[in-house]
Amino acid sequence: MGIDSAVLESYWMPFTANRDFKKHPRMIVGARDHYYQTADGRQAYDAFSGLWTSGLGHCHPKIVEAVQQQVATLDFAMSFQAGHEKAFRLADELSELAPEGFTRCFFTNSGSESVDTALKIVLACHRARGEGQRTCLIGRERGYHGVNFGGMSVGGMSPNRKAFGSSLLPAVDHLPHTHNLEHNAFSKGQPQWGAHLADELERLVALHDGSNIAAVIVEPVAGSTGVLPPPLGYLQRLREICDQHGILLIFDEVITAFGRVGAPFAAQRFGVIPDIITTAKGLTNGVIPMGAVLVRDEVYDSFMQGPGQMIELFHGYTYSGHPVAAAAALATLEVYREEDAFAQARELERHFEQVIHSLDDHPKVIDVRNFGLMGAVEIAPRPGAAGMRGMEMHKKCFWDEDLVIRNGMDVLQFSPFLNSRPEDLTMTFEKIKKVMDRID
Ligand code: PXG
Ligand code: PLP
């Protein structure tokens, strides 16, 4: 296997059953294009494009070269009170890509940091506008907004919250999630049923009073919880209610940005424009950690009112706008343009929808959902052993089928490359069916 099992002990792996993993580790030693190379010498097809990160494929030569050049030229530049060109150019390019009116961009190092940054920006923005009483933050059940305290608090995945205290941030409430098997099972794309669930925001407005609510944060398509596309009309309704009550709307686009739904941002795909967009992952094609928070001009302008020599936002990371990350992101944006990757992703949607829904009538499958190049297959849990079938699928695909998939409990998730070959998508679901037939 190439690594002594004693060496495996010290690394406390993220979101992983450490003891189980270390008994039979699934180790990756290389990656190129659409394949991982495993430690036992196999080429395994990556059906999750990293962790929703690497839509252009692994080790894209242009991005690799940009990183190599940058690290040998300017490895780091002081980020507070000093700057370097690439961070400015990147912010400028992102504002070109973003919906109109988003000309300001704050850099972070991950999706979790982007979310916590966005939450701090909305609180400080209201305060700067003389509405400091707006402190209540509204998330959604089954939402995933990363693992830092802010994102965990507005998040709605109970296993990610339960071990960390029940109060978390003091003023948080949650909208109901939109998952409903009875009405929406096996929907293709956006479900017909469920727009009315956005009206639950009116209930929270009545409860907390709209004037106390700072922001609503949602993923335009919920990803991590197992791909829940928004019901038709749902996001529009959320936007309307936020507007009626002066509430800022944050779209957490850590997964959905950069072509995942066939457009630069899901906001554009759905025609619903929030006030803040959080990103990470696809910003650098996963090559170097980086996130960005894009804000509407009015939000930024609210901060630019006091004396010009004063710091406007007391927030930032040592590595905000890191030169190597910025170089990776600039190269990534260039490749997205050169390869017309977002249009390619949009083209692929139909084939992806077809092949993933070929599992609709499998006896172990209780739902199949898709939007853009995001897909989920929900397996009926084994009685008394929820999550076991999902985990077995992941392991058997890895060891027996040279296929890397992701499972969240019994929901298998798929995040194809933006430039996937259609026959590889077909192959992926043929293998899934074969393995599903074999497990108990
Ligand atoms: N917001 C959203 C919407 C995300 O999907 C984060 C914030 C946090 O980003 P970082 O970079 O701090 O991890 C995410 C991350 C999965 C999976 O299997 C999803 C994420 C991360 C890892 C696995 O669905 N989403
Ligand atoms: N903890 C300590 C002691 C620090 O000095 C710093 C940054 O200077 C941080 C945490 C935050 O680190 P970062 O800016 O990388 O988020």
Q: How is 197-251 classified by DSSP, letter by letter? A: GGGHHHHHHHHH-GGGEEEEEE-SSB-TTT-BPPPTTHHHHHHHHHHHHT-EEEE
Tell me what the pLDDT averaged over the chain comes to: 97
Is the pLDDT confidence value at 3 over 90? no
Rounded percentage of the chain residues whose pLDDT exceeds 70: 99
pLDDT of 395 reads 97
Distances (CA, A) of 362 to 174, 207, 352, 355, 407: 34, 44, 17, 13, 18
Q: What is the pLDDT of residue 192?
A: 97
Banded model confidence at residue 167, pLDDT cuts 50, 70, 90: low
**42: how many CB neighbours lie within 10 A of its CB?**
12
Q: Please state the rounded mean pLDDT for residues 56-82.
A: 98
Give the position of tokens 């990183």: 67
Mean pLDDT on 363-369? 98
The alpha helices in 40-180, defined as continuous H runs, are: 49-52, 61-71, 85-97, 111-128, 149-154
Asked if the domains at 5-56+340-438 and 65-338 fall in one CATH topology, the answer is no
Q: How far is the CA of 111 from the centre of ligand 1 (A)?
A: 6
pLDDT of 5 reads: 84
End-to-end Cα spacing for the chain = 29
Burial 282-306 (b: 16+ CB within 10 A, else e): bbbbbbbbbbbbbbbeebbebbeee
Say if ligand 2 is within 6 A of residue 317 CB: yes
Q: Which of the listed residues 108, 117, 318 should we mutate to test ligand 2's pocket, taking the one with most ligand atoms within 8 A of CB?
A: 318
Q: Which of 224, 225, 319, 391 to mutate to test the pocket of ligand 1 (most atoms within 8 A of CB)?
A: 224
177 contacts 221 by C-beta, under 8 angstroms: no
* Average pLDDT value for residue range 163-172: 85
> pLDDT at position 180, please?
97
Quick check: 1 pLDDT over 70?
A: no
Confidence of residue 4 (pLDDT cuts 50, 70, 90): confident
Over residues 322-340, mean pLDDT: 98
User: What is the distance between the alpha carbons of residues 139 and 155, in angstroms, rounded to a whole number?
Assistant: 6
Is the pLDDT assigned to residue 75 strictly greater than 90?
yes
- Domain boundaries along the sequence of the chain: 5-56+340-438, 65-338
Q: Is the pLDDT confidence value at 388 over 70?
A: yes
Sheet of strand 365-371: strand arrangement: 365-371, 374-379, 411-414, 406-408
pLDDT digits (tens, 9 = 90+) for 85-100: 999 999 999 999 999 9
* pLDDT greater than 60 at residue 273: yes
3-state DSSP call for residue 312?
A: coil
> What separation in Å is there between the alpha carbon of 28 and the centre of ligand 2?
31
Coil vs helix vs strand at 395:
helix
pTM: 0.97
The closest alpha carbon to 56, from 321, 287, 326, 327, belongs to 287
C-alpha Rg value of the chain to the nearest Å: 22
> What spacing in Å lies between the alpha carbon of 14 and ligand 2's midpoint?
21
- Among all bound ligands, the one having the nearest atom to the CA of 110 is 1
Q: Is the pLDDT of residue 391 over 90?
A: yes
- CATH code for residues 5-56+340-438: 3.90.1150.10
* Cα 207 to ligand 1 centre (Å): 30
Ligand 1 atom 21: residue of nearest CA: 51
Nearest CA to ligand 1 atom 1: 145
pLDDT at 277 over 60: yes
Pairwise CA distance, residues 261 & 251, whole Å? 14
**pLDDT value at position 165?**
86
* CB of residue 137 inside a 6 A radius of ligand 1: no
Name the phi and psi angles at 60, rounded to 5: -60, 125
Q: What number does the ligand 1 atom closest to the CA of 408 have?
A: 18
Beta bridge partners of 107: 292
The verdict on the CB of residue 319 being under 6 Å from ligand 2 is yes
Q: Which atom of ligand 2 is nearest to the CA of 319?
A: 15
Q: Which CATH class name applies to 65-338?
A: alpha beta
Average pLDDT over residues 185-201: 98
* Among protein residues, the one whose CA lies closest to atom 23 of ligand 1: 51
DSSP 165-194: -S-SSSSEEEEPP---HHHHTT--SS-SS-
In percent, how much of the chain has pLDDT > 90?
Answer: 97
Residue 4 or residue 286, greater confidence: 286
Residue 233: which pLDDT band, with cuts at 50, 70 and 90?
very high
pLDDT of residue 166: 65
Mean pLDDT of 137-145: 98
Q: Is 280 in the pocket of ligand 1 (CB under 6 A)?
A: yes
Alpha carbon distance 185, 367 (integer Å)? 5
